[in-house]
């Protein structure tokens, strides 16, 4: 989940302190301490190493690349979701959040030196070519991705429209090797897709949270309300499966579409005065109709904010499998002067009841596993946040992902079928829960509510915690 913040002044200060280390500068009018002196000695050490590499490396290196690599190394050592974006990467990120960019249409992260597909984006070259979630990309146009950063691999997959690229993919437990040729296209992300389920249910799928998401959701809901008579309208299915997240403000707005009041999410940084709470306004455009939310192992970040808020307010029944477990917020900090931007983890987020889902995920009210075709068994699970190297810790009870397979044929989609049956009253939540795999800690299933949700009480600060869509890239 990303928060866009324009910290140009901060960028200037960071630039001065990081590279202008010839003398000590006391920005805050405080005496230099031993700790500050140690920091400057370390920066002097960096300067010594930098100069030695510039003068003695076997081939003349590019100073800018050395500096960028050092910055990125510092940030990626913090957690899987912090990174440095050069000017080009920053421009690409801005285009992505607007919902349109050029490339293949794959959400990827990096794992064990290779590029791992989080999910192909609907109606893109990747989805049409059969790229699947959890595929491992080992080479791009014959060049191994080993040794590449995630940004470098993404850059190689991007290119001019109508040009081709060949991905070498390993699939499933057997690591079956496939060469997939794709033609690059303009990726126009329609983040909200909708259709009627029968004549009485509104189905809405959100693929990611970009700047157009809430407007797309609102339009879809209003269309359903015009087409389906109120006395026949059974409710909404909100499909967040394999949605890797996106913008914080959009997740708040989407949650508010189903809530009248109460807290939606809180973000808590290192200091207590950095806590922010986001509350619902009385604009529930769902008009109190029942809601079922579908989630799985690929539902991350902003998807988990929406799921957690609706679950805590008992406004929706969650069906599917445990979500990814990314409970941190990344702030985009522009550095000015065409210097790119930092993507820095600045806070954890908490659901209205005070839950941190970091490295744990959200457990659905009703667990429903899909029937996975034999040829795809072994690749239908995502490991989750808790399996990412360097993730922020969240106590001892971390969970490691779950099934992320969604059948392309809706008639075989057991989670969708369960949602239809629940909304139409064919089966109760308890009956569906009895069909779920046994799980001692599974939360009690709840019926979809038609009444207004109870406002969440303000929560006290959580005890200090002891944690890659964001590590995930779009191309």
Annotated catalytic sites, by residue? 301, 312, 326
List the structure tokens of 441: 């800690």
- Helix or strand run (H / E) with residue 188: strand 185-188
Quote the CA–CA distance of 366 and 319 in Å, as a whole number: 5
Q: Across the strands, what pairs with 182?
A: 165
Quote the CA–CA distance of 126 and 474 in Å, as a whole number: 11
Tell me if 8 sits within 8 A of 258, measured CB to CB: no
Quote the CA–CA distance of 8 and 353 in Å, as a whole number: 35
Long-range CB pairs of 125-131, under 8 A, 24+ apart, other chains included: 125/182, 125/183, 125/184, 125/185, 126/182, 129/180, 129/181, 129/182, 130/180, 131/104, 131/106, 131/167, 131/169, 131/180, 131/182
Quote the CA–CA distance of 366 and 66 in Å, as a whole number: 51
Chain centroid to CA 32 = 40
Helix (H, G, I), strand (E, B) or coil at 375: helix
- Helix or strand run (H / E) with residue 308: helix 302-312
Residue 337 φ/ψ region, left for φ over 0, alpha for ψ in the -120 to 50 degree band, beta for the rest: left
Neighbour-count burial of 303, counting CB atoms closer than 10 A to its CB (0-12 exposed, 13-18 middle, 19+ buried): buried
* CA-to-CA dists, residue 306 to 113, 218, 258, angstroms: 32, 15, 10
């Amino acid at each position: 989940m990303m928060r866009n913040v324009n910290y140009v002044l901060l960028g200037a200060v960071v630039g001065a302190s990081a590279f202008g280390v010839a003398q000590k500068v006391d920005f805050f009018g405080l005496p230099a301490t031993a700790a500050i002196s140690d920091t400057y000695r370390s920066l002097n050490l960096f300067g010594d190493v930098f100069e030695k590499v510039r003068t003695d490396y076997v081939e003349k290196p590019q100073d800018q690349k050395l500096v960028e690599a050092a910055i990125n190394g510092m940030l990626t050592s913090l957690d899987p979701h912090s990174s440095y974006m050069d000017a080009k990467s920053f421009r690409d990120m801005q285009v992505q959040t607007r919902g349109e960019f050029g490339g293949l249409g794959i959400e990827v992260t990096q794992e064990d030196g290779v590029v791992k597909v989080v999910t192909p984006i609907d109606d893109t070259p990747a989805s049409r070519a059969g790229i699947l979630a959890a595929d491992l990309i080992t080479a791009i146009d014959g060049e191994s991705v080993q040794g590449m950063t995630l940004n470098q691999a993404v850059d190689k997959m991007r290119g001019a429209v109508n040009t081709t690229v060949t991905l070498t993919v390993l699939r499933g437990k057997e690591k079956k090797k496939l060469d997939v040729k794709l033609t690059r296209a303009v990726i126009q992300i329609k983040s909200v897709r909708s259709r009627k389920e029968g004549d009485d249910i509104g189905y809405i799928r959100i693929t990611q949270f970009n700047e157009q998401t809430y407007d797309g959701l609102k339009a879809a809901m209003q269309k359903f309300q015009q087409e389906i008579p109120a006395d026949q309208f059974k409710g909404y299915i909100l499909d967040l499966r394999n949605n890797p997240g996106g913008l914080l403000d959009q997740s708040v707005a989407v949650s508010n579409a189903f809530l009248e009041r109460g807290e939606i999410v809180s973000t808590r940084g290192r200091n207590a005065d950095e806590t922010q709470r986001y509350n619902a306004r009385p604009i529930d455009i769902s008009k109190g109709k029942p809601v079922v939310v579908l989630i799985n192992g690929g539902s991350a970040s902003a998807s988990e904010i929406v799921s957690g808020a609706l679950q805590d307010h008992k406004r929706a029944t969650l069906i599917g499998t445990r979500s990814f477990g990314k409970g941190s917020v990344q702030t985009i900090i522009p550095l000015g002067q065409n210097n790119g931007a930092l993507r820095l983890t600045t806070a954890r987020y908490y659901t209205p009841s005070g839950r941190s889902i970091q490295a744990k995920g959200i457990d659905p009210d009703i667990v429903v596993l899909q029937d996975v075709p034999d040829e795809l068994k072994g690749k239908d699970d995502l490991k989750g946040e808790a399996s990412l190297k360097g993730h922020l810790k969240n106590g001892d009870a971390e969970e490691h992902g779950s099934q992320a397979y969604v059948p392309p044929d809706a008639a075989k989609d057991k989670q969708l079928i369960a949602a239809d049956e629940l909304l139409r009253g064919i089966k109760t939540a308890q009956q569906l829960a009895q069909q779920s795999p046994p799980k001692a800690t599974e939360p009690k299933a709840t019926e979809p509510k038609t009444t207004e949700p109870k406002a969440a009480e303000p929560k006290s600060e959580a005890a200090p915690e002891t944690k890659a869509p964001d590590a995930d890239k779009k191309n």
